[in-house]
Amino acid sequence: MTWLVTGGAGYIGAHVVRALQEAGLAAVVIDDLSSGHRRFVAPDVPFVHGSILDGGLVLDTLRYHRADGVIHVAGFKYAGVSVEKPLHTYQQNVEGTRVLLAAMHEAGVGRIVFSSSAAVYGNTDQDLVTEDTPKSPTSPYGESKLIGEWLLRDQGVATGLAHTSLRYFNVVGSGYPDVYDTSPHNLFPLVFDALVEGRTPRINGDDYPTPDGTNVRDYLHVADLALAHVAAAQALLAGRPSRPPTTSAAATAHP
């Protein structure tokens, strides 16, 4: 079984590729290296240098490697920057997903795991967030991820595409010494860069309802996230639904 991993040379994508290999599943990577690194992809993994906006390249890759499914990690992932560059964000995340789905349909590939985001919920005051919590994204990035879920949903209704969307946030850590977070916007790189340069890491905000006034965030280890992507892929291969039946119009998974 072979899975095409879009963005597979990036921080999250490279972890997904290695988790696939450890689960006995083959992987193929397509990445434009705008934020990923060729060195993150092992020599034994086929690598295609290009953009998912190139539908012909995606189609050729799917066909040549006889992909059984796609794990779609590629995208512009910076929520703050997306406010300054909304058109770029929509091009990469919405148009890129549309082009990918069109190529999948033409190639007869009917399974996709979508790396979505908890940004689709926006700012919620609910203590417990579920898949059916109302969606109210507050940035073009969050909006683009929600539109991506809609594209999968509608393609599923139209063609029977099997799909799962994983909504996660605040990813940290590393599962391998040679694969790590290089984003200039993420917590660990910011903290370690400051320490290496002899600066005190900056904490934003001092008026939150916490003991010291700073905000509290939950974080997910990237290796656990990679395993979740593989579990979702395996569920799709087995024809299992990824969540109980629902009447919600915003369902994130279908058998």
CB atoms within 10 A of CB 67: 23
Cβ partners under 8 Å of residue 161, min gap 6: 101, 104, 105, 110, 111, 112, 152, 155, 254
Rounded to the nearest 10 degrees, what angle do helices 55-64 and 96-107 cross at? 40
Place of tokens 């779609």: 72
Instruction: Starting at the earlier edge strand, list the strands of the sheet with 111-115.
Output: 47-49, 26-31, 2-6, 69-72, 111-115, 162-166, 253-254
Q: Which of 11, 78, 121, 141 is catalytic?
A: 141
Burial track 90-115 (b if 16+ CB lie within 10 A, e otherwise): bebbbebbbbbbebbeebebbbbbbb
Place of tokens 């919620």: 124
Q: CA of 66: how far to CAs of 60, 62, 70, 83, in Å?
A: 10, 6, 11, 38
Is 103 in contact with 59 (CB distance < 8 Å)?
yes
The end-to-end CA distance of the chain, in Å, is 18
**Active-site residue 180, yes or no?**
no
Cβ partners under 8 Å of residue 71, min gap 6: 3, 4, 5, 6, 13, 16, 20, 112, 113, 115, 229, 233
Mind telling me the catalytic residues?
141
